[in-house]
Structure 1
Amino acid sequence: MPMSATTPSPAGRVWFVTGASRGLGRAFAEAALAAGDRVAAAARTAGALEALAAEHGDRLLALPLDVTDRAAVHAAVDEAVRHFGRLDVVVNNAGFLAMGMVEEFTEAEARAQMETNFFGALWVSQAVLPHLRARRSGHILQISSIGALAGFPLTGMYSASKAALEGMSEALAAEAAGFGVRLTVVEPGGYWTDLYTTGLAATEPMEEYAPLRAELEKQFAEGSSDSMPHLAAEAVMKLVDSEDPPLRLLLGGTAYDLALDVSRRRAATWAAWEEVSRAAEHAVEAPEGYGS
């Protein structure tokens, strides 16, 4: 069960946060510092962390980092460990949103989305595991999205990157558990970050999708009510303070309701097609010559 919101944070934890210069990453870093913890804050534009570093002194280590560079990721993690002596909480937050219809993506655009959102988190996870295993403790937080729960027009590639992250992370959680390392996939709903502004990339629109785009733009024009990032940070602090953190944590009522709706609809579909599903399986011994 989650600990009480009034439970004090254990003193002296060391965080490694990617994408820490803005948005949710910045909110996570600030919340950790406010709790008395220390933070290795990694970002492409580490200069944006100067004010935070000046405020918190040697409790914050600003690291310039492109998470798509595997060697640079390992170097940054090693530097953080040398500086603070250890790592306790790792937050894979770096990412961006590539908007476009699936058919519109070039190879370069599709790979760029996966390189940051999936491979970046993979490289960080691989880099921190030796340090966490050695201490037989630690908590990895993979910042996913409600987009991993279901695909929507214009965000298919983003959803694919987050779904890949979740599949890898569920396996990693089972692999790392024996070493005392915990992992939680965090699935946020909507927050007022720069994901839809400076954190946004877009494909070249195809004329064939103009009617669908017009329909979507009409829906977007009706407005949205997102939340402030500090609320996500407060939830994450409760998560890392918990003695029994979950494998997955939804952030926000929108994400919670969507997850339940998707699960119910999938369960109903599975039940409707149960006969066909079961008929497709009948276990037998390996056929003669199989594998030869």
Structure 2
Amino acid sequence: MTIVRSADKVWLITGCSSGLGRAIAKQVASRGYRVAVTARDVGSVKDLVASYEGAARAFALDVTDPTSVDRVVVDVTAHFGQIDVLVNNAGIGYFGSVEESDERDVRRMFDVNLFGVGSMIKTVLPQMRQRRSGHIVNVASAGGIVAFPAVGYYNASKWALLGLSEALQKEVQHLGIRVTVAAPSGLRVRQAAGDAHFEMPDTRYEDYVPTVGAIRHALIESFGRQPGDPLLAGDAIVQAVESPESPFRLFLGRAAVKYAKQRAVELLHDATVWEEISEAVDYEDARGEAL
């Protein structure tokens, strides 16, 4: 695999206070790139910046606040000169049945997981278009490939991010701008429940105990034992950006690969088994494959 590496490249990574964002920042800085490390509380990344003095700089950022987004892009560009790689990693989870989910909490999650990403992309893209180069990495999830009980709205936010990213790729690839969606399965980024980025409301209805309750129990039991190493996931993301043949979908973890293959089989099955009925809805004189 050909690797293209330039210490002149500048990365902007959102959500670096912990987990995957912090791991990506470490991998980027250790390779000699310059990196804008962002978090809502810059105090949470001071140690990270201190470890890579000269290469990393901290910036306060709230992706749900357009003023904050505008300011950080201006400040990062003023300090480093440009932004070559944007990593939209900031995200939160919400785990409850569809019926029991709180609308305000769900909307807050979408503000971070989807609309905040869109705000970052819209603000960084003009300079990438002007240079005819750049790479945007959107961190989704294996939960954007296959859905489970208890994570319906989280699934929806990540599936929406995949759809947005695919459209974006087709809009900008002819401009020399690449897009990659990273889809990790379980990463060992949490040791216990109670994380501020992780909402888990109680199950109120007995009917959901066998489905939602079972998944919630399994999720809690997995804390501290998740199979994925965030540093290795960060390394894989950097490798994808460095490769001229960077993938659009980057599956991270054995489970993510399994779910992707499973979904491909399911799509092919449904399209094939119902093909005659599905195609019969078109007018007889229809030609081509219009949207």
TM score, norm. by length of structure 1: 0.90
Change over 3 Å in CA distance of 1:178–1:104 after alignment to 2: same
Unmatched segments (≥5 aa) in structure 2: 287-291
* Structure 1 residue 9, shift from structure 2 partner: 2.7
Query: What's the CA shift string for 1:13-65, capped at 9, x where partnerless?
Result: 10000001210000110111000001111111211111122222232121111
Query: What's the CA shift string for 1:74-106, capped at 9, x where partnerless?
Result: 111111000000111110000011010011122
Match of 2:204 in 1: 206
Q: How many aligned residue pairs are there?
A: 281
2:256 alignment partner, SS class: helix
Question: Aligned partners of 1:255, 1:233: CA distance in 2, in Å?
Answer: 15
After superposition, residues 82-231 of structure 1 pair within 5 angstroms as 82-194=78-190, 197-198=194-195, 199-207=197-205, 208-216=207-215, 219-220=218-219, 223=222, 225-231=226-232
Whether contact under 8 Å (1:10, 1:241) holds in the other structure is no
Question: Aligned partners of 1:41, 1:273: CA distance in 2, in Å?
Answer: 49
Whether contact under 8 Å (1:90, 1:140) holds in the other structure is yes
Question: Aligned partners of 2:220, 2:178: CA distance in 1, in Å?
Answer: 41
Change over 3 Å in CA distance of 1:261–1:47 after alignment to 2: same
* Structure 1 residue 8, shift from structure 2 partner: 6.8
What one-letter code is carried by the residue in structure 2 that aligns with 1:269? D
1:140 alignment partner, SS class: strand
* Structure 1 residue 180, shift from structure 2 partner: 1.3
1:25 to 21, 24, 34: 21
State the percentage of identical aligned residues. Answer: 36
TM score, norm. by length of structure 2: 0.91
2:52 alignment partner, SS class: helix
After superposition, residues 55-74 of structure 1 pair within 5 angstroms as 55-74=51-70
* Structure 1 residue 68, shift from structure 2 partner: 0.6
* Structure 1 residue 11, shift from structure 2 partner: 2.0
Match of 2:289 in 1: none
Unmatched segments (≥5 aa) in structure 1: 286-292
